[in-house]
Structure 1
Amino acid sequence: MGGISPDTDVADAQPAIAGSATPADLNIQSRNRHFANAAMERRRWVGGDPYATAFFNALSITFPKGETFFMKVLKQYRDEVPEKLAREIRGFVQQEAVHSREHLFFNKHIEDSDFDTSRLEQTLTDVIDNIASMPLIMQLVATTCLEHLTAIMAAEFIANPKHFHDADEEQRKMWLWHASEEVEHKGVAYDTWLHATRDWSRARRWATKSVFMVRISMGFAKNRTKGIFDLLRQDGISGPRAWFGFLHYALVSPAPFRRTLLPWFQFFLPGFHPWNKDDRDLIQLAESEYEAAIMDQPDQDDTIATLGERKVKKRLNKVA
């Protein structure tokens, strides 16, 4: 198993000499999948379930701006980290750039389904602007925390088929592809954090990341829940019905909040590293699910046909 072994005598993992604890045989690189033309066949595209649809729609709204922010932060460390980690950061940036591109297209589908996402977008902008005003090292620890949240959700989405049961096929494949790459690069931000804080005491590093994880998690849960209820209201669901349905979805079945609670808590344990759990099998599982969809796709820019898509590509090229 890759990763840093737990050490109960320390408050956090000690940076590896190589600068990265990602498995040596794991090659982080963008698969550059294209799902821009994937049809959203139903307004409630996740099996007709309004709660699941609102959950994933609210999550998708965060990705273009959020992942662009992550790229900008890690790129500022790329020239000062060891060679292996620098390569992984480049792979991370390439993957996140494509994720941002595809979720811009996905979010356009949400808007085309007559959902107003402007309030969700504004909330996200406010949060990112606040983090971006902090010192760079604080931006990095925020990125590290958010990447952990994303990675544990991605693993859950792949491992539990209930999440996309009867979902629109092309959208299901897009989400599984995204999730697989989140698992693949789950250690990059954390390794960058360990390198950047290599002169800190273990106690200081643990305390800083733990405080930020609590703050980030509370804000994430609050804002995503607020966004979900905004979208549910637009779908004709409000009041007790909305609360009961959402809590059942989040905590009972398929329970994305409840089922990610333990891996969330592990972030605080002594010796934690994302690759202490080697779940590369999930990458292979997800790839087997969407592989058929990518075999018939045109090469590279053939799918970037409309004026709107060209504008999206131009925007992403500025940050990649």
Structure 2
Amino acid sequence: MGIAPTIADAANEFSAQNQTATPTDLHIRPRNRNFSLSAIERRRWVGGDPFASAVFNALSVTFPEGETFFIDSIKKFLKRVPPKLQGEIRAFIQQEAIHSREHHCFNQHLEDCDLDISRLEKTIADVTNGIRVMPEISHLVATMCIEHITAILAAEVIANPKHFEHADERQRNLWLWHASEEIEHKGVAYDTWLHVTRDWNPLKRWLVRSAFMAKISLGFTKNRIKGVLDLLRQDGIAGLRAWIGLAHYALVSPAPFRRTIRPWLQFFRPGFHPWNIDDRALIQLAESEYEAAIMDEEKASCKVSIFPDQRPPERMRKVA
């Protein structure tokens, strides 16, 4: 990729800004799941791997605040877009609200494992508060950029079974469900951006989104490393051992971050759209796995439960 778009690339960017590329047969469907009602039995729930567990735990801490920010950001543009996109935005909001609720519960379980996540929560709050003082279009482009990062990580998590091969089943299903919905709605914020900025100069649009993605990616990487090292330190792993272990996990094997570099770079291509990468099959793959697990649990529950209307403890109920 060159430093700036060519004339042909700018034409591609211009044509992309006047249409959406989300598949017409894609239906964004909120699935109201309650995976996080089960406690985390061990800190190292990803097959006993402290590094994998710390990475996913650090990501989870960002979700309640981050996804609330996404909802607030895109909701501002609901009445400015065509009816079809309005419906997709409403479904996006429902999905993100449920994700926020489930990860709030998951994070409570982390605290039950004697992990202090307050510093990680403060970091994500500082980031979102810093963006909130910017113009509302900045809120949208930030959401669009982070949604791309989340979607490519989600695709990697589902496509590579090695990530959760030995993970505790309940937590594994939570992450597969979340990842599948992140893929499903990955074009919503981008299509909203395309519509809202349809009258912008193509070069300006390319420069704005590229600059935002570069800045957000740098901050995302720095803050997640900081958070993972914090959690590892609480798990008795610090110093050079922590850095080497994290680098090996992230970049060597199973290498979730190395394996997502190429789809991340595609964002900088003029004319890019998230659905240039058509990974709808991963949604069905993940759903088939966690739905099968739910059915097995429900069958087992019917056999042993003598209190069918028993509800979970107050602190574990849905977060509004």
TM-score (norm 1): 0.91
Q: Are 1:227 and 2:227 matched, yes or no?
A: yes
**Which residue of 2 is the match for residue 306 of structure 1?**
313
CA contact (8 A) 1:64 1:103 kept: yes
Q: Summarize the Cα distance change of 1:156–1:209 in structure 2 as closer, same or farther, 3 Å threshold.
A: same
- Aligned equivalents of 2:312 and 2:238: distance in 1? 39
Name the structure, 1 or 2, with higher relative contact order (CA <8 Å, separation 6+).
1
- Aligned equivalents of 1:223 and 1:303: distance in 2? 41
CA contact (8 A) 1:14 1:194 kept: no
**Which residue of 2 is the match for residue 115 of structure 1?**
115
CA contact (8 A) 1:20 1:188 kept: no
Deviation at 1:288, TM superposition (A): 1.4
Q: Output one character per residue of 1:125-170: Cα deviation in whole Å (capped at 9) or x when no partner.
A: 1001000110000111000000000000000000011111200001
- Aligned equivalents of 1:275 and 1:155: distance in 2? 12
- Aligned equivalents of 1:101 and 1:126: distance in 2? 20
Q: Are 1:205 and 2:234 matched, yes or no?
A: no
- Aligned equivalents of 1:196 and 1:303: distance in 2? 48
Q: What's the secondary structure of 1:26's corresponding residue?
A: coil
Deviation at 1:36, TM superposition (A): 2.8
**Which residue of 1 is the match for residue 218 of structure 2?**
218
**Which residue of 2 is the match for residue 252 of structure 1?**
252
Deviation at 1:9, TM superposition (A): 4.8
Q: Summarize the Cα distance change of 1:230–1:145 in structure 2 as closer, same or farther, 3 Å threshold.
A: same
Q: Summarize the Cα distance change of 1:282–1:243 in structure 2 as closer, same or farther, 3 Å threshold.
A: same
- Aligned equivalents of 2:270 and 2:310: distance in 1? 46
**Which residue of 2 is the match for residue 14 of structure 1?**
15
- Aligned equivalents of 2:11 and 2:226: distance in 1? 38
Deviation at 1:281, TM superposition (A): 0.4
Q: Summarize the Cα distance change of 1:203–1:135 in structure 2 as closer, same or farther, 3 Å threshold.
A: same
Q: Are 1:77 and 2:84 matched, yes or no?
A: no
**Which residue of 2 is the match for residue 3 of structure 1?**
none
**Which residue of 1 is the match for residue 175 of structure 2?**
175
Unaligned runs of 5+ in 2: 1-7, 302-308
Unaligned runs of 5+ in 1: 1-6
Q: What's the secondary structure of 1:28's corresponding residue?
A: coil
Deviation at 1:10, TM superposition (A): 3.0
- Aligned equivalents of 1:220 and 1:303: distance in 2? 41
CA contact (8 A) 1:39 1:171 kept: no
Instruction: Let me know the Cα RMSD of the aligned residues.
Output: 1.7
**Which residue of 2 is the match for residue 272 of structure 1?**
272
CA contact (8 A) 1:229 1:242 kept: yes
In the alignment of these two chains, the number of paired residues is 303
- Aligned equivalents of 2:214 and 2:202: distance in 1? 18
Deviation at 1:304, TM superposition (A): 6.4
* Structure 2 counterpart of 1:308, one-letter code: R
Identity of matched residues, %: 63
TM-score (norm 2): 0.91
